[in-house]
Each structure stands twice: as structure tokens, then as C-alpha cells.
Structure 1
Amino acid sequence: MTTTTSLTAVTGSVGTAHTRVEGRDKVTGAARYAADVPFAELAHGWMVLSTVARGRVRSVESEPVLAMPGVLTVLHHGSAPRVDGDYTGVLGRPDPIVACFQNDQVPFVGWPVALVVAETPEQAREAAEVLVVRYDEEPHDVDFSAGRSGTYTPQNSPALQAETGKGDLDAELASSAVVVDSEYSTPEEHHSPMEPHAAMARWEGGRLEVIDSNQGTTWVADELAKLFSLDPASVRVRSEHVGGAFGSKGVRPHQVLAVMAATVLDRPVRVVLTRRQMFSAVGYRSPTAQRVRLGADADGRLRAFDHQAQNLTSRVHEFVEQSASMGRVMYDADAHHTVNRVVPLDVPTPTWMRAPGEAPGSFALESALDELAEKCGIDPIVLRARNEPAAGPVSGLPFSSRNVLACFQEGARRFGWAERDPRPGLRREGRWLLGTGTAAATYPSGVAPSTAAVTAEADGTFTVRISAADLGTGARTALTLIAADALEVEPGRVHVRIADSDFGPAMIAGGSMGTRSWAWAVMAAAGELREQLALGGDIPPQGVTARSDTSAAVGALSAKERHSFGAQFAEVAVDTTSGEVRVRRMLGIFAAGRIVNPLTARSQLVGGMTWGISMALHEEAARDRASGSHVAADFAGYHFAANADVPLIEADWVDDPDADDPVGIKGIGEIGIVGAAAAVANAVWHATGVRHRNLPIRPDRVLLAGTGEATAG
């Protein structure tokens, strides 16, 4: 039987609030995370991580463990299948941690040294905990500090501008009427998503199938194919529901180990990480040491701009936290210099974490701008307005749009900024000192090639297939609305299927580029389908499908500086007796392109701002120098903002569609955290009159402020 599908002109879904299309499934349990999908004959793997910070594995005493109930195998460097880690993937060279068990090397505490596989998770864990691994230890170094020996400047590349500069910095600083020269630090921070990392692997009909929790199924499938020297067409990765990622859910040891074990045992194997294991095996945000030097005329106009940032990386893989990059977009000066440096240590490799670079970099830069405003006697918003660049300060490119001042104007009006007395330490309620602060936000707005397929079904509905990932961001819902408008039908007639590598290559969910990139592909496929349907005729039982590839369209984009922008505002209360800092209210106004779904967009922005509170006041992972391991690598020892710490947070936006984007999207996943910690820190200064240049602003550091030692941390 054939059916004719009508395209009734219905538009306007984009820009209106819609609840998540998978919301009911999530709250009823119908939606399953990777560790919850059942499989027949499923075995369970448990990772064993190194307990020494540097050295080699002398022996893995697996025989006693193999005799334990339910234990099926123990994989280690002497028994594991070989893999090929010498390749370049979508995002460059892989972290060597994914080439599991290929030698006896131990470069840090938490390096995978064995996998115990058993019939049940409990049996696997019990055996893993008694497995004896002996090491030959070597001296280690995990001590990170500003300017320490071994620090170097990486080479510039297409993916990394380590250093930029123009003008005579020393001369402009010397001739400036006002100079700020301050050092800032941010600690090691961890992603800690709600859903731990988990993967199941099995061989089915000659193909490798992996059920995973990740940020890009085609990305993971491609890396696994390279690691195991497989035909890419023989690898399928699915990741339908993801409970948070924030940059950590790429290719990690657990997927590789699941594939190894499934290959050895010829049965499905699942590997799930514990919270403690996630502190060493899946990346984190590196601590940073930053120095900002600003030179300005008496009226606040910048003459000299210098932002130097340093982060640690592992000895086995270079990762650069580009904290000095924000000023390349935000502020111009006659002399302008930025540099990102790294120091290799005996620690796990850091990785991308929500707003990598911009999040820690904005704390230092936007705190320094506040210090400059104080020294010049100028309102912080006025200072920023006086230093608005006409084009990219480093690139020289025109901005696609730049509405940062509109964000400050609207935010100041709604926050009541005009009533603020700029003098610090004056507002008091009993033992509480009150203050307000502000900071700017920005994050790049990129787009990458993607493919999509849209099918007109015989029953009058439409199916969209794209290898997108919904990390809890609402991407599945946003794509439903975008497809509905492109097809000019009600959203209820559109069904979006995502997160299956068999759907073809697509951009990962990262860099605030996911929805924008996928939207281009969906729009293109929907347009092609409309043209096919316009020719008339019935819809056959198998439907009519149109496919798209946006490589050419993305490659033809004109050269412009594309960024989202924003303004953050915070009010804090500081307890002078206990040192406690409470954020009373926050407001963020953003210029982030056309907002597809206001409901989930506001959730994303508020989530980022909440993380900014955590960053400013709570989050800090500590590492013991003697052992090289974390101190309290769990949710008891790693503090973050809980419900009682989160005040009234408002997030809104100004009109800012991107004229070069088919939908007008820019991206909102990361900008919500940028500048948030600086706004809180600037508010603490306004409350107390003391600058806190080292995060987090703990109670003990606030109490030290009374002795004039706060800035030393």
C-alpha cells in the first residue's frame, strides 16, 4: 500500500519552549543508560589501576584470582590482545592510556594495569581488589607551580595558537598611567557527570558492536577501528542516552578493555567505571597558574595587554588548557601578547572540560579587568565599553556579530547595577558583608561537516537519522523542532533518531558546535526531501529518503570571528566570623545566536552558571606529593555546589541570530560557565575589600583576608 504525505505549512516551532521529547522515557525508566542495557551471557570487567606514580609492572599474580568463583580471565600487559595506538584520529593523536596493556610502563597513579572479567560485577570487583600487582617504582614529580622548571611553550599549529603577539609590550607598560600586574590560580577540577562511564562490547555477525556513553558515536567507532585495525564498516557504536559528559566522554580505557575482553571470551563484556576510577582514567581540568598584566591610560583605555597561562600535562601526552586565549577576542591594545605554556609531570593527562581555556582564563582576565577598573576609578562596565574592539584584536577579522555591550546594558538594568556604590566593604547585614560583581563571557561559535538522512514515512510521519549525541543538553528536542520547521510540519510528526554510528559521520557534541553542525545537515536533508516530494507521487512502504553532507557548505563559510558573548552578574554575602561565602543571586545575559528551545537553553545556561559557583567557592582536587595520588577522590572529598549553595539564578538573552547560519544558531553549551567565577570573585572583593586571586575562595582563605594574606592563597 502506498500513501501520499502532505506537507502542511506549519512553522514557528524553533524559538518556542518545548519539553524534552524523551522526557517521559527518562522519568519512567524506559530510557536506559549504557550500563543498564541487558544482554544475554553478559560478562563484567573490573579495571585494576596502578597504585604507584611512576615505574614498571614487575608482575601480575593472576593465578590465585583465576581460581576465584566466577572469574573468567585476567588481562594485563602479558596476556592482552595487541592494539595499534600509533594513529591520528579526528581530534589528533590519542592519549596513550587507550592503548591498554601494551607494555609494563606506569606513568602515573591510576594507570590501567589489569582487567578482571567475571560472571557478575560483584565477582569481578572482589577478584580485582585482591589481585596482587608488583611494581618497580621510580622517583616521581607531581608538584605544579607557576614558572617551575620544565615548563615550555608548545609549537603553534592549526589546532593550537600557543602564543600570539603584536606591539612593544614593555614600552607600552612603561608609558601606561595605570598598571595591573597580578597572578591567579585555579585548581584541578573534575567532570563528575551523573552517569559514570560505561561500555558493553560484543561481536555480532562479524561486526563489533559497542553500547557506550559518549559524545560522538562515529568518533568512538573510528578510533576503535584504528586501535584494533578493523574495517570502519565493521564497527558500530550506539549511545542513545547519556547522563552528562562535559568533555570527558570520548575514547577511554573502558571501551578498549570491553572490546579486548569480548574478543578473548567471544561473549558480551561490559566495563563500568567507579567514581574513584573516573578521577584518573577519563581526564580532568588541569590546574592553572596565570599572570595578567594590563597597562592603561588614566581613562582606562588599554595600551598593553599580556596574559600568560600555564597548565600541567602528563609525560605521555600533551594537553594544553588554552586559558590565555579569551583576550584574543575580548580586548585590544597597542601591545597585545598571550601565551599558553605547559609542564609535563607524572600525572594523568588532562582533557577538555566545559569551556576549556575560557573557564579558568576568564577568572584571571575578568578579575584583572575589575582590578584595573578599581585603580582607574571607573565603573567595570564602562571600562569594558571603552575597550570594545572594532574587529578581532589578534585575527583582525570582522565579527559575525558582537553584542556583548547589549548584554551588559540589559544585565545592568535588570540587576540594579546603577544603584551600586563602587566602594568596597560598606554594605553589611549583621555579620554578613554584601557585594556585587560582574564579568564578561565569550566562547567560540564553530561548525563542522555532518551528514543526516530524513525519511518521509508511509504513515505521514518523518524520521530523522543523524549521529548526534544528547548529553542532557536537549539536542534531540532541538533537532526535532528544527526538522519540523524545515519540513513545515508539526513537531509531533517528526521522530529523531540519534547516536548510532551507522547513520554516518557527524560532529561530536563538544565545543558548543554540536546542535549548530547537526542543524545544518538536517536542514539540508529536509530541503532535499521537500524537493523530492514536490515532484508528486505516492510514498512507498519503505518511505522516501533524502541525505545530506554539509562539507561543502561549511568549507564555503566566509572568514569571520564567530563567538557567543555574555555578561555575568553576582551578589554575595560574606560571613566575617566563619569565612563562608554565599552567593545570593546571579544573572546572566547572553548573545548566543538564535535560541532554538528557550526551555532547555535556559537550563543549559543556568547549569553553566551553577558550575561557576562551584568553581568559585567549592571545587578543588588535591594530590598528595609523596604518593602522587588524589586525596579523597570521591564525592565526600571533592566538593561542589549542592542545592543549598545555589541561589536564585536567572539566565536570559538578547536577540543575536547568526546571519551565516541556516537557523541562526551560535551555541550555548559552554558560555554559561565563562566569567561566572570571576563575577563571584569580584563580588567578594566588593563585599570585603580584599582580592582573592586563587580559587576556590574557601572559608580559611576568607579568614586570612583579615590578616592581609588572602591574595597569597
Structure 2
Amino acid sequence: MSILDEAKTRAQGLMQGLMGKAVALAPDSWVPGGHPDPLIRRQHGHIGKPVSRLDGPLKVAGQARFAAEFPMDGMVYAAVFYSTIAKGRIVEIDAEAARAAPGVVLVMTHENAPKLKPTPIFLTDPKAAGGDGLPVLQDDRVHWNGQPIGVVLARTQEEADHAQSLIRVRYQAEEAATDFDQVKQAGARQAQFMGQPLHNEIGKAEQAFAEAEVKVEATYVTPRHNHNPIELHAVTLAWDGDSLRVHDAQQVVAHAAWTLAKVFDLKEDQVVVTSPFVGGGFGSKTLWQHQILAAAAARLAGVPVRLVLSREGVYRTVGGRSMTEQRVALGADRSGKLKALIHTGVTAKTSHNIMPEPFILPTRSVYGAETMLLDVQQVELDMIGNTFMRAPGEAVGTFALEVAMDELAEALGMDPIELRLKNEPEKDPTQGLPFSSREVEKAFRDGAERFGWSRRDPRPRARQEGEWLIGMGCATGTCPYYRMPGGAARLTLTRDGQAIVDVAVHEMGMGTATVQTQVTAERLGLPMDAVRFNYGDSTLPGLIMAGGSQQTAAIGASVIAAHRTLVGELLKLAGNDSPLAGLKADEVACRDGGLCGLEDETRFESYASILGRAQRKSVCVEAEPPQPMETMHWSMHSHAAMFCEAAVNVVTGEPRIRRFLGSFDCGRILNPKTAASQFRGGVIMGLGLALMEETQVDPRNGRIMNPSLSEYHVPVHMDVPDIDVIWTDIPDPHAPMGARGVGEIGITGTGAAVANAIYNATGRRIRDLPITLDKLLVPSLGS
């Protein structure tokens, strides 16, 4: 069995382990936000308050240290050398000039690298974090154009960069699969995601489509996308004997520590990874080859190393979103009821990772069609391993599906919102489960009223202001609720009324520390300044990644579990001399820095009093929440209604977004300020997906041709309009704290809303992203 086959088998086993015990847990057994949790019966006002991010002052003052800012005595700087062929072997590396260059400490290639084990691929083990499963610098093989094949260490970054430019390599190239269109013709095979086939079939969809009264069918194309967090991927690390200390830009610290230990054949506790501040991740800041290169070179040279990928290096080394070609065919009766929903297509991946772009994920739950056929096929290219990128599957899948829904609405002569609401499912179409909470209609109705949808003229090109054609479009957005297992948290309460939460999670700018401080203060009945939230360190409890919009729910569930355990310990310490004597944990509540009886609040004792009488300075507990089985009983998703007003210049073809509104249904909003920031950030990424982002690859040799922000365009301030955000704020009774994810929902549906608005403005239907002016100019808009 190959490494990849073994990885796939382990991934499938992992997911079956996560999902296979549905009957072991009643759906409301942990009393999440919508249920009457006695421990927080009295509200203290922290939840729902627009609290500014606690890390803000540190960042503004320049006191927040990122991965490339940790000083280490004797540290040297690294520069990576990349391959220039897509497949083959290295015949010769001439590094003598580099070794002789000023300041050079080490040149490391496959010829002198230490022995390393293959990298465990993300999702093949609960703790695996690798972006690809290839052994790093262990042989002369080249697997993609841009693969790291050497690293130089020098006293300064400039010296390292200069030295690596002196390296000369002779290759023996082999025929490589680098042309997506060409490889598709040779055939594709069934894609899998998280150990399961990307395939759903209900009834005879093709037959129903052929017999439908009204139907639309089209192909939608999305390109490769690259990650571009403003903070470059970086690592600062050092060895102390056989122990490795790593300061990383990381969104899976505990996973990264375990994975590095496997690569270097160490015990897990011999690797410590910290990542207190991360300047954006979006799925990219896991474990890639650069951290392994830095650690191997540091061990070989015996000095601390700092490695910061250049912007080009991020494109060469860190995967992104893969391209897709999607067919959507919708058949309906004259009333607009969907009789057939077909969403199929093909995407590309590599042979050394397990991440196809799962673009049918949103279609599984959005509409209640009578028949459905959903399928993703994959082909393999010799390219960098693609990976998770904000809303994997949903971001590009909603583009195809929601543009097709707009086309169907036009064919029916029906309002696009009414068509969508007419096809709201009563239960999950593919799983058959009831929805935990679904307020899509409210999101659309509220959004339409606020946006002024009633003023939209359904006729294309009906509104013009000078040189600008104006149009409105809408789309549905959706993102699944996840809560990964392994979320242990430690909660310490001191005699002076301070609470400390320890959990190995991440702050990447989304307000994690702030919101969880609010949650902990609310549950304990303490002021926020009495709570300290420690995170970003692999030595802390827990195995919670910042991904899948699940971190808030996962941490919240862990804090709830630790809080309950803490209350039980406090009641034991209180003893028979306390006003609380005889009360059980479900008979007390937390308020005003102490515990009180639910039925008689005069039975109160402060935490300080309880610990003082017990002669304890503190009490510390660690607990894990129940396994995440809520999704075995309920179909759980965040939803959005997206509205766009676009303008297109009739002379130049330039598209501009004039205003945008997102109306969100994400359960309870714990912090309106940080949630609004997340919603807007997702929308901005969606605008980039719609209008400008595209990784351009030379199909002849697989080389990324625009590896810079001057050539790979992302939205800047002048591209971003006024973005209005509203939400239902209706708690989900089956999610921790009643909250579902907000981090990724903003990008879903945005691309389709933009495309639909541009069609309403111009009458030109663009099905191939990005929507650039050249696609709008032919034929001339002015004609």
C-alpha cells in the first residue's frame, strides 16, 4: 500500500470514528445556548456586547510579536531554493559558489539533509497537519514546479538571498501532467472528501431534468486561487538537544507539534509550537515544507533559524484552492418548484495530498429538489498540493449553483428571492435530518427590505447613470457547522477572584481571545478583566484547530465542560459550613463572583470565601466536552442572503461594486463587533473571487506565472464598497452557546451575487471567474 493509499484509509477511518456513535449521545445532553442552562441562568451582559478585541492595543503599539519577530541568540536567516521543472529528478546541484558566498553558514540539499520521515497528511490522523505527504529533501525527485529543493543559512537575510541565487541545478525532466484541460480528456475518477465520496443521488435526476417544463443548464468555471495573508508564512526555531522550540505562524499548534515530532522521530512533548499572533491564515497556515526545512537546517548547523517565505515563496510552497469545472442543470415546473437539481463536475488535486475542492457541499442542503445528482470527479496534476481555503467547496460551489438559480428565475419570469424561498427544504435533502435552526426566509426578507430589493428592475440594462449600467443581484450563502473532537480546556480559579483559561487554540484576527473571555466571564459571573485566556501554545490542553468556522463552538463547548467540572469541585470545597451545603451542581448558578442557589439566591458564597475556608489559593480543573454528535441528529449550517449592486462602464467594461449587504443566519451572535468584522472580511474575499483573483499557470510546465501581489490581484480599499451586515441573532438550540460559525459564511454566495448583479446591469452572463473587463467588453457593452 502506498503512502497516499494508507493516508486515505486512515482518513476514512478517522471520519468514521468521529461520526459512528450517533446513539451514544442525546442531542441536548450538554445544554447548549438555547437550552435553560442553570449555571448561567442569571445574565451578566457580556454575551452580545460589542467588545473591542483585547489584542488590539498590543498590535497598535507594536507589542504583539509574530513568528518572525522572536529574537534568539546566534540566530541565522534562511532562504529557500525552488525547482524550475514540474516532474523529474535532480542530476546535479552546484552549490559551491553559494557556500563560498559572504555570511553563509550552511547550504542544505537532499545530498546532506538529515534523515526525515514522511509528513503525516492533514486529516489522516486526528493530530496530522501536513500539507503534503512527501518526505522533505530525502531524495532527488521533483514533484512540482516550485518545490523546495534546498535552503541556505546565512548571517543576514540579504546574504542568504544572494547565496541561494548562486545555486545551479541540472535536471532530468520527465513528462508532467500540468494542463488541466488535457488531463480531463484522459478521464477522471471519483473524488473523496474527509474519507467519504463526493457523490449524492436521489431519484432519477437526469430523467426528471429531461422531462421538466422549465430548465436551464450551463458550465461554470473557477480558476486556481492562492493564499495571500498579509503576514508571510514564517517560523523562528531552535533546538535544545533533542527538543525543538518553534515560534510559528500557525492555526493548528498542537497538530503542528505532533506532526513535526513524527517527521523528526521524536516524542510529542519534545516539540513545542507557539503562535500567539497570526496575521491571517484562511486555511493556509498549517504545516508545509518550510517549517521542516528550517528545523532540519537548524539541527544540521546547530544554530537557531528564522525562515520567512517571500511572497513568491508562499505561492511556490503553500497550496491554495484548486480549479473547478462545474455543470449545473436545474429543472422546474411552471410554479418554480425544482424537479431536478444536478450539480456535477471535475476538479484537480495532486498525488501527494487528499484535498479535492468539494464544490457540491453547499448543494447538499440548500434546496429541496425532488431529485438530485451531485458528483465531483478529480484528476491529478503535477502541482503543489492544494489545501483548504476559506469556505472550501462552498465558496466556488455557491457561485455555480446560485448563478444557475438566477438563470432559472429569469426563465420562469420569477423573482430570484421568491424562487429560492419556494424551494426551501423542510428537512436536509440528502441526510433526511431535521435542521437544528434555519432562518433563511427571515434573512432574505430582512435583507431585501434593508437593501431596497423592491426597486430592482428585473429587465437587464434597464438602469443607466451616465456611462454606468447599474444592476442588482442576490444569492444564497451557506457553510456547515462543525465541532471537531479533542477540545480539552483547563480552568483555574484563584482566591482573589481571577479566572484563567488554558486551551491550545488560535487568534488569527477573528477575536477568539475576546469572545472566549466574554463567554468565561459570563459563565462565572465575573468582570471581563478578571479573566485571562491563554492560547496559541501546543503545551496547553486541547486539540482545536482554527478552521471550518468551528473554533468558537469547540472552545465554547470545552469552557462549558470545564465550568461544570469547576462548579462541582467548588461545591465539594464549600462543605457543610457553607450556605450552599447540600446543593448539587444543577441547583446552583454563578453570579457576582460566587455561587448561589437557584431557588433561593440568598444562599450565596463567593469564590474567595469558598477557597479561603478550604485554605486553597486556587482550584484547577481540566475537562473535555461530549463528542461532537449533534450533527448526527441535526443538519446544522450557517446561512446568508447576499445582495449586491454593481455598476459596469459601457465604454471601458470596468465593473465596480457600489454597495453590498449580507444578511446572516448564524445562530446567536456572541460579539457583534468581531462578528461584523468577520462577515465583512469574508465578503471582501468573495469580491476578490468574483472580480480579480486568479492563479495563472503555464500549462506547458506547471509554473505559477503571477506569484506576487502586483500580478495576482486582491481587493484593496478602492475596490471595496460600503458593506452592510445584519443578522437574525436567533440562537441555535443544538450548538454550544447557540452560536454557529461566522468566519467563512461571508465568502459564500458573494461571487454569485456579484455575477447576478452584473448580468442585471449588462445582460451579459459570465460563467467563468474572475469577471474581468475583457469578458464584459465582447461584444461591446455600448452597442
Contact conserved, 1:196 with 1:274, CA < 8 A, in 2?
A: yes
Aligned to 1:497: 534
1:270 aligns with 2:344: no
Local SS of the residue matching 1:323: coil
Aligned to 1:14: 47
1:455 aligns with 2:530: no
Structure 1 pair 686/91, CA: closer, same or farther in 2 (3 Å)?
farther
Distance, in Å, in 2 between the alignment partners of 1:92 and 1:700 is: 43
Aligned to 2:397: 361
Local SS of the residue matching 1:15: coil
Local SS of the residue matching 2:171: strand
Alignment of 1:299-310 (within 5 A): 299-310=335-346
Aligned to 2:618: 543
Alignment of 1:624-663 (within 5 A): 624-663=698-737
Deviation at 1:537, TM superposition (A): 3.0
Candidates 79, 82, 92, aligned match of 2:112: 79
Local SS of the residue matching 2:407: helix
Candidates 321, 326, 330, aligned match of 1:294: 330
Contact conserved, 1:202 with 1:262, CA < 8 A, in 2?
A: yes
Deviation at 1:82, TM superposition (A): 1.5
Distance, in Å, in 2 between the alignment partners of 1:533 and 1:203 is: 42
1:523 aligns with 2:573: no
Local SS of the residue matching 1:101: coil
Structure 1 pair 97/124, CA: closer, same or farther in 2 (3 Å)?
farther
Candidates 475, 478, 481, aligned match of 1:445: 481
Aligned-partner residue type, residue 544 of structure 1: V
Structure 1 pair 348/391, CA: closer, same or farther in 2 (3 Å)?
same
Contact conserved, 2:447 with 2:726, CA < 8 A, in 1?
A: no
Local SS of the residue matching 1:503: coil
Q: Which stretch has the larger CA shift, 26-35 or 328-337?
A: 328-337
Local SS of the residue matching 1:680: helix
Contact conserved, 2:676 with 2:725, CA < 8 A, in 1?
A: yes
Candidates 201, 214, 217, aligned match of 2:237: 201
Deviation at 1:316, TM superposition (A): 3.0
Deviation at 1:38, TM superposition (A): 0.8
Aligned to 1:54: 87
Candidates 272, 290, 299, aligned match of 1:254: 290
Deviations along 1:187-243, one digit per CA (max 9) or x if unpaired, are: 111120010111122123642111101111101011111111111121111000000
Aligned to 1:316: 352
Q: What TM-score does the superposition give when structure 1 sets the normalisation length?
A: 0.95
1:127 aligns with 2:163: yes
Deviation at 1:419, TM superposition (A): 2.1
Aligned to 2:650: 576
Structure 1 pair 211/640, CA: closer, same or farther in 2 (3 Å)?
same
Structure 1 pair 708/446, CA: closer, same or farther in 2 (3 Å)?
farther
Local SS of the residue matching 2:181: coil
Aligned to 1:421: 457
* Structure 1: runs of 5 or more not aligned: 1-6
Alignment of 1:296-695 (within 5 A): 296-449=332-485, 450-534=487-571, 535=574, 536-538=610-612, 543-550=618-625, 552-555=626-629, 559-695=633-769
Deviations along 1:603-634, one digit per CA (max 9) or x if unpaired, are: 00001111111111111111122332122210
Deviation at 1:448, TM superposition (A): 1.8
Local SS of the residue matching 2:739: coil
Deviation at 1:309, TM superposition (A): 2.6
Deviation at 1:92, TM superposition (A): 6.3
Contact conserved, 2:488 with 2:558, CA < 8 A, in 1?
A: yes
Candidates 67, 76, 88, aligned match of 1:34: 67
Structure 1 pair 295/146, CA: closer, same or farther in 2 (3 Å)?
farther
Distance, in Å, in 1 between the alignment partners of 2:349 and 2:41 is: 56
Alignment of 1:163-242 (within 5 A): 163-204=199-240, 206-242=242-278
Distance, in Å, in 2 between the alignment partners of 1:540 and 1:614 is: 59
1:66 aligns with 2:99: yes
Distance, in Å, in 2 between the alignment partners of 1:500 and 1:273 is: 22
Contact conserved, 1:97 with 1:111, CA < 8 A, in 2?
A: no
Distance, in Å, in 2 between the alignment partners of 1:633 and 1:558 is: 42
Deviations along 1:134-186, one digit per CA (max 9) or x if unpaired, are: 21112333222398224423365753331111211222112101111101111
Deviation at 1:67, TM superposition (A): 1.9
Structure 1 pair 265/437, CA: closer, same or farther in 2 (3 Å)?
same
Distance, in Å, in 2 between the alignment partners of 1:325 and 1:641 is: 26
Q: Which stretch has the larger CA shift, 357-366 or 607-616?
A: 607-616
Deviations along 1:492-512, one digit per CA (max 9) or x if unpaired, are: 111111011100232100000
Contact conserved, 1:216 with 1:469, CA < 8 A, in 2?
A: yes
Aligned-partner residue type, residue 597 of structure 1: N
* Equivalences, count: 702
Q: What TM-score does the superposition give when structure 2 sets the normalisation length?
A: 0.87
Distance, in Å, in 2 between the alignment partners of 1:134 and 1:187 is: 32
Distance, in Å, in 1 between the alignment partners of 2:636 and 2:197 is: 17
Distance, in Å, in 2 between the alignment partners of 1:242 and 1:93 is: 17
Deviation at 1:405, TM superposition (A): 1.1
Deviation at 1:29, TM superposition (A): 0.6
Deviations along 1:554-592, one digit per CA (max 9) or x if unpaired, are: 347652111001100000111010000110000000000
Deviation at 1:118, TM superposition (A): 1.4
